[in-house]
Amino acid sequence: MKELAFIKRSNERHWVGDGFPVRSIFSYQDIAEEMSPFLLMDHAGPANFPATSHQLGVGQHPHRGFETVTIVYEGGVSHRDSSGGGGTIGPGDVQWMTAASGLIHEEYHSPAFARTGGAFEMVQLWVNLPAKEKMTAPGYQGITADEIPRVALPEGAGEARIIAGQLGDTRGPARTFTPMNVWDMRLKAHHRVTLELPEGHTTALFVLKGAIRLGNRHPVRTAELAVMERRGSQLVIDVEEDTKLLLLNGAPLDEPIVGHGPFVMNTQEEIVQAINDYNSGRFGQIGR
Ligand code: MN
């Protein structure tokens, strides 16, 4: 059975632009090796926004060397990037953006959400790319809720939406560069859920809302991240309250990480190159 390695609690909140009040759940600046291939995760909301005359959010900024995965729970997000990617995603939808060699993008509340306001909640996850893929061409996967298969857990214990990876015979739609599972899970109180995951891979559970217990001992509550040991393949979750959680599981990359703001590479030289390339306009521009 997989044992708990540690729990990370996050209390600090900050704003990304004027549209995203986020809690930083983890970052490679604190826990890099333990979370690889995942670099960073922010939880925006839950929050309520009034109707606004313009779209709140964050304007043009670059990324290089990784992927950003945006999962919307409530509200709507619109995105455009310099590689021609773009779209609006709503509750249950996922945007899987491969920055790779570099792009410039903007992230705003959707026009419809700005008009009405209301409840807003999303997660943005940064997924690292292996060194040999960091300078590959950018890409964009807009994944709608109806494309994400749901797997009912045994004995009415809830369900898993398979965004990436595989549970039993069910495969998620996201194309990834390295093996990983990203599952949006809803678990029912007073059930035990047992999952089989690849031995040696990183495994972490982020509780968006609810309460679980791991190995029948360690409580994990709202806004907490539980990072598991890599050994063992069986993950046992005892669900104490109805719980919404995100399961992250993936093969660690075991490569050096050097990051600077929106760039995450393997060496300092590559960071300097990224800054130079961005400053000389080589990341392109967002079309009109
Ligand atoms: Mn961004």
Under the banding of pLDDT at 50, 70 and 90, the label for residue 11 is: confident
Q: What percent of the chain has pLDDT over 70?
A: 100
% of the chain residues with pLDDT over 90: 95
pLDDT tens-digit map of 194-211: 999 999 999 999 999 999
Half-sphere exposure of 178 (CA within 13 A, CB side): 21
- 37: DSSP letter: T
Q: Does residue 215 surpass a pLDDT of 90?
A: no
Q: How many CB atoms lie within 10 A of CB 48?
A: 11
pLDDT at 128: 98
Give the pLDDT of residue 148.
98
21-44 mean pLDDT? 96
Helix (H/G/I), strand (E/B), else coil: 270:
helix
What is residue 142's DSSP assignment? E
Q: For residue range 121-166, list pLDDT tens digits in order.
A: 999 999 999 999 999 999 999 999 999 999 999 999 999 999 999 9
Q: How many angstroms is it from 62 CA to the middle of ligand 1?
A: 7
- Is cis: bond before 62, omega within 30 of 0? no
Give the chain's mean pLDDT.
96
- Angle, CA 11 vertex, CA 7 and CA 15 arms, to 5°: 130
CA of 106 to the centre of ligand 1 (A): 7
DSSP string, 130-196: -GGGTTSPPEEEEE-GGGS-EEEPGGG-EEEEEEESEETTEE-S---SS-EEEEEEEE-TT-EEEEE
In the reported structure, the alpha carbon of residue 161 is separated from the centroid of ligand 1 by a whole-number distance in angstroms of: 24
pLDDT band at 287 (very low <50, low <70, confident <90, very high): confident
Tell me phi and psi for residue 202, to 5 degrees.
-65, 140
| Rounded Cα–Cα distance for residues 143 and 161 (Å) | 12
Q: How far, in Å, from the CA of 57 to the mean position of ligand 1?
A: 10
Instruction: Calculate how far, in angstroms, residue 120's C-alpha sits from the geometric centre of ligand 1.
Output: 18
CA neighbours closer than 13 Å in the CB half-sphere of residue 86: 16
Taking residue 281's Cβ as centre, other Cβ atoms within 10 Å add up to 9
- Output the CA 22–ligand 1 centroid distance in Å: 13
Distance from the CA of 193 to the center of ligand 1, in angstroms? 34
Ligand 1 centroid–CA 124 distance in Å is: 9
Measure the CA–CA gap between 21 and 43, rounded to whole angstroms: 8
Q: Check pLDDT > 80 for residue 183.
A: yes
pLDDT at 288 over 70: no
* Residues 244-262, mean pLDDT to the nearest whole number: 97
Mean pLDDT of 76-82: 95
Q: What is the pLDDT at residue 10?
A: 86
